[in-house]
Amino acid sequence: MRTATITRNTAETRIAVSVNLDGTGIYDVQTGVGFFDHMLEQLSRHSLIDLHVRTEGDLHIDQHHTVEDTGIAIGEAVAKALGEKRGIRRYGDALSPMDECLTRVALDISGRPWLVWKTAFSQGKIGDMDTELFEHWFHSFAQAAGITLHVETLYGRNNHHIVESAYKGLARALRTALEIDARKSDAIPSTKGVL
Ligand SMILES: O=P(O)(O)OC[C@@H](O)[C@@H](O)c1cnc[nH]1
């Protein structure tokens, strides 16, 4: 089974994350930040990763540690569940339309974490969440998961649509990259022999 549980306890946050990479997109997410929960639910629903998240963060300060550490914990859980990544497709991409917005996401489960983020917002908050934290979450997740991740908003106006299409695009690209390739189900998908 490709499942994992990660706990992350610091002076700033207490986090428990569980994932099942072969799930059906069942989620139970509570971070204390409503819009953030909504985005992580999109990530689960459209990647088909079962995702359980409990985050207790120092929200009396701001949302930064809560968002960052939750990204790290989810990324670590995905990496732990992947193990040596034998048989996975490795690459995934998605064009993610949402009403007037179109976002492109491409990723490589490379073991070489990198984020290219080409998205901008016209407002400082969406719901109760600071828009500057979305790039930071994608960076934290990619870094912890060991994923090369490119996200670009091709066009869009509504800030909710822009960020939700990014999370949905990540989800659909992950669904492809995490799938086991029946033609190479026992092979490490790299000429290096390791990922
Ligand atoms: O209906 P969808 O699955 O595309 O999205 C779910 C939810 O986010 C939706 O209520 C929404 C529509 N516009 C912004 N959000």
Task: Assign residue 173 the CATH number of its domain.
Answer: 3.30.230.40
CB 81 within 8 A of CB 2: yes
In a domain, 171, yes or no: yes
Three-state secondary structure call for residue 160: helix
In a domain, 114, yes or no: yes
- Which domain covers residue 65, as residue numbers? 3-184
pLDDT band for 194, please (50, 70, 90 cuts).
confident
pLDDT band for 134, please (50, 70, 90 cuts).
very high
In a domain, 56, yes or no: yes
In a domain, 191, yes or no: no
Number of domains in the chain: 1
For ligand 1, whether the C-beta of 160 sits within 6 Å is yes
In a domain, 195, yes or no: no
In a domain, 190, yes or no: no
Q: Distance, CA 38 to ligand 1 centroid (Å)? A: 10
Task: Supply the ipTM of this predicted assembly.
Answer: 0.90
Taking only the tens place, the pLDDT of each residue in 63-120 is 999 999 999 999 999 999 999 999 999 999 999 999 999 999 999 999 999 999 999 9
In a domain, 11, yes or no: yes
Atom of ligand 1 nearest to the CA of 161: 14
